[in-house]
Amino acid sequence: MNRVLLLPLLAALLFAGCTGDGGKADAGAEEITITGAGASFPYPLIAKWSYEYHKLKPNIKINYQSIGSGGGIKQTMAKTVDFGASDAPLKEEEYRKMEGILHIPETIGAVVVVYNLPGVENKLKLSGEVVADIFLGKITKWNDPRIAELNPDISLPDEQIIVVHRSDGSGTTFVFSDYLSAVSPEWREKVGKGKSLNWPLGLGGKGNEGVSGLVKQNPYSIGYVELAYAIENRISYAHIKNRAGKFVEPSIESVAAAAAGAVASLPKGDESWAEVSIVNAPGENAYPISSFTYLLVYRDLSVIPGMTEAKAKALVEFLWWVIHDGQKYAPELHYAPLPEEVVKLNEETIRLITYQDKSLL
């Protein structure tokens, strides 16, 4: 069983009453369940954090539902979860509606273009313009001259391309469409960027899990998922031509390179992040479809129905652990750990969080 599937199973076992070391919670410790929902992009890492943190503090359970960034934002806005998660920063109108909301970058990842080409062993090379035209329906065959020109060493099949995309409101879609809007004027004009799009064509899958499944099941298909899902499900993914003209493999190093140039200009955690993007970043080694992914937390946690001071404190302690000790688990799941400058920014943000105006750190 791959880790993407195994981690939620382990977390479920823990939530049923097991601890990672076979022990039990201290008899006097209050049992606290922290709920979250949103992006599937960071789900493998959040599941790992939930598992490891429960081993560390057996009375604390993190119950996170991978429902897509759009769903996570809606539940955060409705205050039905303790925290949300989104790969897309809040739009200006969302930020204004959610008074007191904070952005906490949790990790950095890559959206990859996955494909199912039977018999093709070499890595496919694609440019952003070609990917845009495939998803626009302008390039319909795998042996189209524009794909062939980028891949002279591959014998491409004379087969129709099956396009697969997300069917739910998705931060992964936001990142992917943000990139296509940056490199293709036609995509920007006809489709644009967003968590939900009016797709010109294709099959829809729910979550990164759904898109991964559809691509695996359909020979000659193409789609987009977060890197961890491609690796753990053994789906081929393309090297993408970056802004410097280099074909770059998505990796921890190339994702970190994409983020490097943006670190110095990031806003504070209580400010709007609507304009933050690291797609098509400069740098010879930068992977062009990279993104921060965010935890969304209210500055005063007492606005959430049912929140107690003990739960608020437990949530803040978990967030502090995530941006420090939790980062060591990122590389094994193909995410880039946060740069030190972003960790310091997050420290300032987490220190802002209160319960009924009372500091929690």
Lowest mean pLDDT among 12-16, 163-167, 356-360: 12-16
3-108+292-359, which class in CATH? alpha beta
pLDDT for 13 equals 41
Token reading at 14: 């823990």
Mean pLDDT of all residues belonging to the chain: 93
pLDDT in tens, 91-138: 999 999 999 999 999 999 999 999 999 999 899 999 999 999 999 999
Average pLDDT for 229-234: 93
Does residue 2 have a pLDDT over 60?
no
Superfamily of segment(s) 111-260: Periplasmic binding protein-like II (3.40.190.10)
Sorted by where each begins, the domain ranges of the chain are 3-108+292-359, 111-260
pLDDT for 46 equals 98
What is the percent of the chain where pLDDT is above 70? Answer: 92
Task: Please give the single-letter amino acid code of residue 337.
Answer: P
pLDDT for 26 equals 53
pLDDT in tens, 167-208: 999 999 999 999 999 999 999 999 999 999 999 999 999 999
pLDDT for 28 equals 63
**CA–CA separation, 165 vs 205, rounded Å?**
6
Does residue 31 have a pLDDT over 70?
yes
Does residue 16 have a pLDDT over 80?
no
Same fold, 3-108+292-359 and 111-260: yes
Does residue 276 have a pLDDT over 50?
yes
pLDDT for 6 equals 46
The pTM for the full model equals 0.89
86-90-96 Cα angle (round to 5) = 140
Task: Please give the single-letter amino acid code of residue 157.
Answer: P
Q: How confident is the model at residue 29 (pLDDT cuts 50, 70, 90)?
A: confident
pLDDT for 15 equals 41
